[in-house]
A and B are shown apart, each in its own frame.
Chain A
Amino acid sequence: MIVDTVRSRGEVPYPDADLLSVTELLSGDERTRLASLRQFFQDEVRPVATELWNRAAFPFELLPRLAALDLVGRNGRRDSALLTGLAVMEFARADTSLCSFFLIHSELFTEAIRTLGSDAHRRELLPALTDLTNVGAFALTEPDHGSDVSREMETTAERVGDEWILRGSKRWIGNASLADYILVWARDTGDSQVKGFLVEHGRAGLSTSVILNKIALRIVQNADVVLDDVHIPFDNWLPGTTSFRDTDGLLKNSRTWVAWQAVGQQFAAIDIARSYALERKQFGKPLAARQIVQEQLVRMVGNATTSLSLMIQLARLQEEDALRMEHAALAKATCSARMRETVAIGRAMLGGNGISTDFEMAKVFADAEAIYSYEGSYEINALIVGRAFTGLSAFD
C-alpha cells in the first residue's frame, strides 16, 4: 500500500511540506520545469520503486523516459545550480536508489568526460551519455581503502608503449556491472600520480561481481571490480587527470548533490509520515491529532526545512563559482546528519508497519544509511570542515 500523498494534499495546508515557498526563487520557466520533473518522479518513479527495491532489480525500461527529461544536459544545456539541486531533491523524494544511479552516471562519469576528457572523448561519448543509451560508472574506492584512498590507492596503471595496463581491484562501484564505461582511478607507475582511465565494458581482464544483500539503495547495482592486466589504448586516459587533485571538482559537486539527496529523503519521510498519521487511527482519533506525533512531525519538518535552506546557499555559492570543498563537506555532513534523525523519527511513527517496505518508510529509512556513509563518511566530512575552520588537520 503506497500511502496516497496526493489525496492528502488537498486536505492540509503546505501540501508539499514546503514552508519556504521555495519556487519563488525560480524563474517562471524553471518552475514549470521543476513541476514537470516532480510529476514524472512521483508518477513514474515512485510507484515502481518499492517493488524494484525489494527484488534489488534495475529498471532498464525506465531509461528512455528518464532520458527524455534531459537531466544530463544535451548539447551543453545546463539547468541552474538551484534548479538542479531541487530536481535531485525531488528525484530522491520519489526514490533514492534511482536518483543515485542517475547521479553516478551524470554528475560523476559524464561530468568527468565533460570537464577532464579530451575533445575526442566529448565528441564521441557525450551524445550517448546524455541520451542514457550509454551508462557510466566511477571507480575510486578499493576494498581496503575508502576515506584514505587518495594516499593509499593500490590500483596501478602502467604505461607500456601505446597502452596502459591496469591492475587492482575496486569496491562499492555503483553501476559498474551494467555500465558501458567505467572511469577507473589508478596510480600511474611512471610518476606515482593518480589518474583517470576509461575502461569499456567487455575489456579482457575486467570482471565485476554485484554486491548482494544490501539493506540500502538496493536498486543501485554496486559491484566489486577486478582489473587483471586490463590493456587499454593510451587515449583512454583522460588528459585532464594528472593527479588526484583533479577529482576535486567532481567530488565537490557530487558531495553537494548527495546533500540534496539527503534533503529529498527527508521530504519523502515527511510525505509518508504525515499521510500515515492522518489516516491511522488510535483510540478513535488520528495519530496526527496527538501532541507527541505533532512534535515529531515538526522536528522532521524543521530538519528538512533548514537543510533545504542550507542547500539554497550552496546553490548560490555554486552559481558564483565560490563553492569550496569545505562548503560541500559541511553540506553533506549536516544534511545527512539531519536526515538520519528525520527518517528515524518517521520510521518509528509507523510502528510495526514501518518495518515493511509495503509502507515505503522502511525503504526511506534504510536508504538513509547509504547516503550517510558514501561520498565521504560523516566524520571525514566533519574533519574537512574542522580543518578549514581551525587551520589544524586532525585526520590522523
Chain B
Amino acid sequence: MGLIKKLPVYLEKFPGGGIVTTSLDYVFSQSQASSLWYLLFGTACCAIELMATGASRYDFDRLGMIFRASPRQSDLIIAAGTITKKMAPRLRLLYDQMAEPRYVIAMGGCTVKGGPFYYDSYAVEKGINHIVPVDVYIPGCPPRPESLLEGCLTLQKKIKKLKIGDWS
C-alpha cells in the first residue's frame, strides 16, 4: 500500500515517468470506480429499494457492483435506512473494519438528516455524517432505484478524478 502511494514520487524522477504515473492513475482510478463492491448493509425501508436495485430490472451488476457480506472485502457502505442511536456505534465499527480506500453513500432522508424522524424522535441519529464521512448523499424517502444508480454513478465520477497520492 505504502509502496503504491510513493510510486509517483519515484517514477517522476525518470524521464517519461510522468506519462507512466498518468496512465497508472487512469488504470487505478478506473478500476476502483468500476468495481465498487458494496456491503450488505440495510436497516429499514431503503434496504428494500437497495434489494430492488440489485434485482433484475435495475441490476447493480451492470456497474460492476456486487454485494459482499464481509466489511473487509467491500469498498462501499450504502447506508440504507434509518440509523438509530443504538445502531450508530455498529455503523462506525463496520466502517472501521473496511479496508482503505472506502466510500460511504448515505441513502435516503434518514441518513441525510433524520428524514421523517427528525422531529419528536428520541432514538434516531440525525444524519450519519457525524458518525462516518459521507461521499454521496441521496435524498428521497426512500430514493427510487434510478436515483440510487445516479448516486453510484456520481460516486464513480468522483473516484475517477482521484490521483494515486490522493487516498486517505
Instruction: Please determine whether chains A and B interact with each other in the same assembly.
Output: no
Which residues of A are at the interface with B, using a C-beta cutoff of 8 A? none
Which residues of B are at the interface with A, using a C-beta cutoff of 8 A? none
